[in-house]
Amino acid sequence: MSSSEQKRKLVGPWRSVQVALWLIGLGVLALTGKWWPGILFLIALSLLLEALLRRFAPHAFEESPEELREERQASEAVPPPTTPVATGQPIPAPEHRLELLPSECPKCGGPIRGVEVNWTGSQSADCPYCGANLPMQGA
């Protein structure tokens, strides 16, 4: 296989045969407890099956051009960065002022994070651990 040629994958029922070989093989290894060198034999059987399929059933590795195109598009697709649309209106200030939260709860000592607290108002929050109202710093 050349470096420019991609490795073709098993398709259709041939993929099921390969999966069944692995599942049965792993089941036998689990029952017997002979993981070493059993896993090496399982890998060798899998490679032998693939070589036999390449020799006697080359159609087992063909993929339709449509499937290849979809896979290529899925791997290359990157969502475009989103930018806010300029509407001429000022950006509103955040509703919750995280900088006013204490670093830990005065009642239970739990760490306070802005995403975890239970906000009860724009400048009022409860501890997520004990439910105590948190005093805002500098409010």
pLDDT for res 124: 81
Residues 134-139, mean pLDDT to the nearest whole number: 75
| Confidence band, pLDDT 50/70/90 cuts, at residue 78 | low
Peptide bond into 92 cis (omega under 30): no
Distances (CA, A) of 65 to 1, 59, 85: 19, 14, 39
Q: If you count them, how many residues does the chain have?
A: 139
pTM for this structure?
A: 0.38
Burial class (CB in 10 A: 0-12, 13-18, 19+), 10: buried
Q: Among all chains, which residue has been given the structure tokens 């060798």? A: 44
What is d(CA 134, CA 125) in angstroms, rounded to the nearest whole number? 6
What is d(CA 25, CA 42) in angstroms, rounded to the nearest whole number? 6
pLDDT for res 112: 85
Instruction: List strand residue ranges (DSSP E) for the chain, in order.
Output: 118-121, 124-126, 133-134
Instruction: Provide the residue ranges of all domains of the chain, joining segments of one domain with +.
Output: 13-76, 96-139
Q: Which among 22, 15, 12 is positioned nearest to 45, based on CA atoms?
A: 22
